[in-house]
Amino acid sequence: MNHRRYNPLREEWVIVAANRVNRPWQGATEADTKTKAGFTTLATINPLAPGGKRANAMNHRRYNPLREEWVIVAANRVNRPWQGATEADTKTKAGFTTLATINPLAPGGKRANGKTSPHYTSTYVFENDFPSLTDDGNRDEDPSELVSDQLYQSHTIRGTCRVLCYHPDSELSMARMSIEQIEAVIDLWIAQMDELQSKYECVQIFENKGAVVGCSNPHPHGQLWASNFLPTYPAKEYNTQKVPSDFYR
Q: Are strands 159-165 and 12-16 parallel, antiparallel or unpaired?
A: unpaired
Cα–Cα distance measured from residue 123 to residue 224, given in angstroms and rounded to the nearest whole number:
14
DSSP letter (8 states) at residue 91: P
Q: Is 60 a catalytic residue?
A: no
| Spatial CB neighbours of 104, under 8 Å, sequence gap ≥ 6 | 24, 110, 111, 112, 117, 217
* Extended beta strands in the chain, E state: 3-7, 12-16, 60-64, 69-73, 124-127, 153-156, 159-165, 202-206, 221-227
Walk along the chain (249 residues) and give the pLDDT tens digit of each residue: 678 888 776 778 888 877 777 676 656 665 544 444 444 455 566 666 676 665 554 667 788 888 888 887 776 666 665 656 666 654 444 434 445 567 888 899 888 888 899 999 999 999 988 888 888 655 455 555 555 666 666 677 788 999 999 999 988 888 999 999 999 999 999 999 999 999 999 999 999 877 677 677 888 999 999 988 888 888 888 888 887 766 656
| Spatial CB neighbours of 107, under 8 Å, sequence gap ≥ 6 | 97, 100, 117, 118, 119, 120, 121, 124, 168
| Spatial CB neighbours of 184, under 8 Å, sequence gap ≥ 6 | 122, 123
Domain 109-237, CATH among 3.30.428.10, 2.40.290.10, 3.40.47.10, 2.60.40.10: 3.30.428.10
3-state DSSP: the chain helix, strand, coil percent, rounded to 5? 25, 20, 55
Q: Which of 119, 155, 219, 221 is catalytic?
A: 221
Domain ranges of the chain: 109-237
pLDDT for position 48? 63
Contact criterion met (CB below 8 Å) for 86 and 30: no
Cα–Cα distance measured from residue 118 to residue 162, given in angstroms and rounded to the nearest whole number:
16
pLDDT for position 32? 44
Looking at the DSSP bridge assignments, the partners of residue 203 are 226
pLDDT for position 102? 74
pLDDT for position 145? 57
Contact criterion met (CB below 8 Å) for 5 and 14: yes
DSSP string, 121-165: SS-EEEE-SS-S----S--S--GGGS---SSSEEEE--EEEEEEE
